[in-house]
Chain A
Amino acid sequence: MTSPAPAAPGLKPFAAMLRREFAGYFRTPLAYVFLAVFNAFAVSLAFFVGGLYESGVASLDRFFLYHPWLWAFLAPAAGARLWAEERRQGTLELLLTWPITVWQAALGKFLAAWLFLACALLMTLPVAFTVGWLGDPDWGVILSGYAGSLLCAGACLGVAAVASALTRSQVIAFVTGFLACFLLVLVGYGVFDELLAGAFGSAGIDEIRRLGLWRNLEPFTLGLVDARPVAYFLSVAFAGLGLSTIIVERR
């Protein structure tokens, strides 16, 4: 007997990868801790710090205001395992000798993680419904806010993927990923203006700020879906995905 000629694998390896990685989040209690922490922070920041209720405005802009901070912290937490765990367990060697390209594997992992972050975001929908119950919000604006937040999560995940590809320690992957995302959040805030003005001149500040997460998310929370911020978030996400893949391939 000879082994049967393997069929052309097509999308099967990719789909298997995506399924395993997504299910992987729920194999450990970490997923539930993550979802709980995300929700607790998302809601309490909006209500207690942002004054969503006191504002008396039926809008979620005070809710989305804190999302860059949340993603900067939680996307690296969810993304830390992407490659670091494969290295630590030695399974990277298995994966790389199975008939799947590194690109397929990387894309499957990345989309699974993004899907997981999307689940966390969807669980905050009761906030939107509460606003809908209390007032008469513009649902189109709320929808664009959610879309922006999801794109912002993807960008942070791209950064996290690179951090995870560089190490076998999930802790190091998390800390470096968080620091890099943290910088992307800070760039958008006024506190850095003086520092930036010193380095780039006052004319450059606005351009620099465009590189920050908040400046790109803000239009979404006002209901403006512009090509530029969409391109920004997707570029960061896919640049991170591409760079992490190259790092793993070249090991």
Chain B
Amino acid sequence: MPLIEAQNLSKSYGALRAVRDVSFSVDRGEVVGFLGPNGAGKSTTMKMLTGHLRADAGAARIAGFDVADDAVRAKQHLGYSPEGAPAYGEMTVREFLRFAADLRGLAEPGESVRRTLALCRLEEVAAQGIDTLSKGYRMRVGFAQAVLHDPEVLILDEPTDGLDPNQKHEVRRILKDMAARKAVIVSTHILEEVGELCTRVIVIAKGEVRCDESRDQFLARGADLNAVFRQLTA
């Protein structure tokens, strides 16, 4: 059974058809790079997969549970970091993660928070208010709440956006370490990330899947990835 399933997902905003009949599935061990220009429907697709947006048509399943009909169980298996990594800014990092752990009803919330703080290298800012953190730390807090419960499914909307090269490297390192046990979708604008991080690539443009293939197949399309991207999304 695939851990992530998108089945003929469609979503319109008024007259704009943001996502049209998108289908794919992701198995354990796969890291899917979700590529596409701004406004292509990447975030909308992710929002439907995570149950944040209701699809007009089609279905989404996380670990076999329908995100609409069996929402709570689907969400227990899901870690999701929305674009911009929103968090309760008035809380400290530790308070925020503790809240997320309690809300998820984790058996050992204190231990989960401690482990996650260490994993994401957030210990030194654990007692700081999230509002006072730099962008790099805030992105990591968003990532931390997504992996707090060691979920089987990880969906990250531009997790490396706005990070410096060292921080990007760090996020990719953590992701790679855990990828073998999970099904991961990462949306990104950074084409180089594909080679470094992903095992598979899905390109989406104008709400449609334009290509869905292994990393090697994608990289073999040409030496200039920017040109490949332009051609696929034209």
Q: A residues bordering B, Cβ < 8 Å?
A: 1-4, 6-10, 12-13, 15-17, 19-20, 24, 27-28, 89-91, 93-94, 96-101
Contacts and interface: CB of A to CB of B under 8 A. Distances in A.
Interface string B210-222: 0000000000000
B190 interface: no
B57 to A, nearest CB: 17
A93 B50 CA distance: 10
Top-8 shortest CB links A-B: A90-B86, A16-B102, A9-B105, A12-B105, A99-B75, A6-B76, A16-B103, A3-B150
B77 interface: yes
- The dominant DSSP class at the A interface is loop
Interface string B37-70: 0000000000100111000000000000000000
Interface residues of B, number: 34
Given A6-B106, A12-B105, 13 more contacts: A3-B152, A13-B104, A13-B105, A16-B99, A27-B90, A89-B87, A89-B89, A93-B47, A93-B82, A93-B86, A94-B82, A97-B78, A99-B72
- The dominant DSSP class at the B interface is loop
B126 interface: no
Contact of B88 (A1, A89, A97, A100): A89
17 contacts: A2-B152, A2-B181, A3-B77, A3-B149, A3-B151, A3-B152, A7-B107, A9-B76, A9-B104, A13-B105, A24-B90, A91-B88, A98-B103, A98-B104, A99-B75, A99-B76, A101-B72
A94 B99 contact: no
A71 to B, nearest CB: 25
Nearest to A91: B86
A16 B88 CA distance: 14
B91 interface: yes
B133 interface: no
Contact of A27 (B47, B50, B91, B151): B91
Contacts of B88: 20, 89, 91
Contacts of A4: 107, 150
A12 B108 CA distance: 13
Contacts of A90: 82, 84, 86
Report which residue of B103, B149, B151 has the largest number of chain A beta carbons within 10 angstroms of its beta carbon: B103
A12 B102 contact: yes
Nearest to B80: A97
Given A3-B149, A90-B86, A93-B86, A101 B71 contact: yes
A97 to B, nearest CB: 4
B122 to A, nearest CB: 17
